[in-house]
Structures are given as structure tokens and as C-alpha cells.
Amino acid sequence: MKIIVNGQQAFGKAVLEALIDHGDDVIAVFGPEDRPGGRPDPINEAAAARGLPLYQPASFRKHEVAETCRALAPDLGVMAFVTKIVPAAFLDIPKLGTIQYHPSLLPKHRGPSSINWPIIQGETRTGLSIFWPDDGLDTGPVLLQKEVEIGPDDTLGSIYFGKLFPLGVQAMLEAVDLVKAGTAPRIAQDESQATYESWCTRDEVGIDWSRPVREVYNLIRGANPQPGAWTRLSGKTVQIFDSAPGPATTAPPGTVATVDGSGICIAATGGSIIARRLRAGGDKMTGDDFAHAHGVEPGTQFTVAPR
């Protein structure tokens, strides 16, 4: 079965190399364009290292790009982290169709930031889907799914790198084997359960210290490490990364209750947040180092981020 891989970054590279090591016949790679003066994308480097034909189209809507794919006569397309719009006219070129990885349990959390939002919304389970993409946004029939737990202190980073990344690579191999065997299902998504969220951007993760402490904590961990939940201190934007729920305090929301080796304890409604790693424009710093560098002490006020 001749496979083309369409992907980018570390996940795309990992899927490409896993397929090859699995003994699958990868005949070409479609990767992102090179950035002027920047390092090649990991999947592009992997394609070059393996001696595979590499195509880097600016758009998959162009007729000549489809013709290039058609000339390869692929049996299956594998999409591993693709941010460009790929129309059905391209997806349908491989003889057996195209399968795609999405890091949520479709139809929930369709969209580009599908790992951030379940954490921010306080959910305790998420997962991944391998599905058959169509012209909709994450709307095609599902081939297989894998569930993972969102622990009470999991972050975007721990869920992705510790769970959904390695499990996703293995799930892609499992899905390819099912296609090869002719037993890959096409399970229609239940539209009554569908949700969609757009990009989790900086504008979405400003901290409102007057919110319940669990909501604040979920926001911080769902944005850690990207895009980084933020607040304001003396006119400066401060991002908070590693943190933990802290004890109850009588201090007003946003006020520093204590500063010690464990971090900066900031009041929120119903409790507090211990900020353990922060950044104000430069490198990330421990809470203790940040407090010394920026004059943070009990009574210092972090202001509510405007929405």
C-alpha cells in the first residue's frame, strides 16, 4: 500500500518515521514551506534524511498540486498535524482515501486548539480521533478513537507530550493496519454532540482573579505552555506557567498573600493560586526569583486582565 504523508513539526515527523519503521511504503511527503532564514520543519528534515520526495505547496487548492499527487498514484493519504485547508478534491485522490489525526474525541472540540479547551473547561477526559476528513472542519466519519484522563494538575504540555502525542503515533499505525486489512470503519459523527472552539489565543487567556479559583487554575494549566495565561503587574504583562491551587486567604482577588520558596501565592475567589514559574517579557523565572526581580511582596496587586 503506497502512502503519502502530509504533516508538519514533531508529530508529523514521528508519524512519518513510525510508518517507515513499521514497514509501510511511504512514497512521498507533503510538508510546510521553508521559512526564509529559518530551520527546516522537522518533517521536511526527516523526508530529506530518508531520501523521500518532498513537496511543499503554498496551497492545496491549486490544480497543479492535485496533479502532482495524482501522478504519485497513492493508495492512502495520512495527515499528521496539518494546518492548511486541504479540499476533498485532494483528499480523495488516494485510492483508499485519506485519514487524519485530531487530538480530541470528535465530534467534541472540533477546531485548532482542541487540547487547550477541554482543560480550560474543567473536563476530566479527552482523547484523540483518527477520522476520514472531508470538506468540513473535523466533520468526517471516525475510524478509531482513544481516550485519556485529564488529571487535576495536567497541563496542555503534559496532556499533549505525555499522552496524546505518543498515543496518536501508535493510533495512526493501528488505523493504517485497519485500512490495509480492509476493516477500517467509517462511523458518522453525532452532530447533536458536536462542539467547536477556535484558536486559543492570548486574548482568550487573560486571568480574571475574581473568578472561582478552580476556573483560574484550569485557565492557567490549559494555556501552559502556549499561549500562556497572563495578568498585569505595574503596567507589565506577566505570564504564569507552572502553578498549583493554594490555601484559602482573606486577601482580595489578585492580591499577593505570601511569597516564599514555593512561589507567589495570589488570591482568587474561594482560594489562591501559587505561581511557581512566571515571565514578564524575558526568560521564565521561578516564583521566588520573580518576586525578588520585580519587587513582589505580600499586598502587591496583580490586576484583572480585561476581556
| Chunked mean pLDDT (size 10), the chain, 307 residues | 97 98 98 91 97 97 96 98 95 98 98 97 98 97 98 98 98 98 98 97 96 98 98 95 97 96 97 98 95 97 77
Contact 293, 264 (CB under 8 A): no
179-236 pLDDT, tens digit per residue, is: 999 999 999 999 999 999 999 999 999 999 999 999 999 999 999 999 999 999 999 9
| β-strand partners of 121 | none
Closest C-alpha to 222, from 241, 197, 246 = 241
Measured CA to CA, the distance from residue 114 to residue 99 in angstroms comes to 18
Q: What is the DSSP letter of 108?
A: T
Which sign does the torsion angle of CA 8, 11, 15, 18 carry? positive
How high is the pLDDT of residue 307?
53
How high is the pLDDT of residue 306?
59
Kindly report the number of other CB atoms within 10 A of residue 130's CB atom.
Answer: 25
Average pLDDT taken over every residue of the chain: 96
Whether the domain at 2-193 and the domain at 205-294 fall into the same CATH topology: no
Place of cell 497543479: 64
Measured CA to CA, the distance from residue 131 to residue 178 in angstroms comes to 12
Measured CA to CA, the distance from residue 226 to residue 220 in angstroms comes to 10
Closest C-alpha to 160, from 228, 113, 123 = 113
At 50, the amino acid letter reads R
How big is the CA angle at 228 (ends 298 and 106), to the nearest 5 degrees? 135
Closest C-alpha to 73, from 139, 1, 181, 22 = 1
Q: What distances in angstroms separate CA 201 from CA 11, 112, 134, 228, 285, one per listed residue?
A: 21, 11, 26, 9, 22
Measured CA to CA, the distance from residue 155 to residue 238 in angstroms comes to 18
Query: Coil, strand or helix: which one is 54?
Result: strand
Side-chain half-sphere of 147: how many Cα atoms within 13 Å? 6
pTM (predicted TM-score): 0.95
Cell matching residue 191: 452532530
| Terminal CA-CA length for the chain | 51
Fold (topology level) of 2-193: Rossmann fold (3.40.50)
Under CATH, domain 205-294 is a member of which superfamily?
A: Formyl transferase, C-terminal domain (3.10.25.10)
| Domain spans in the chain, listed from the N-terminal domain onward | 2-193, 205-294
Contact 120, 218 (CB under 8 A): yes
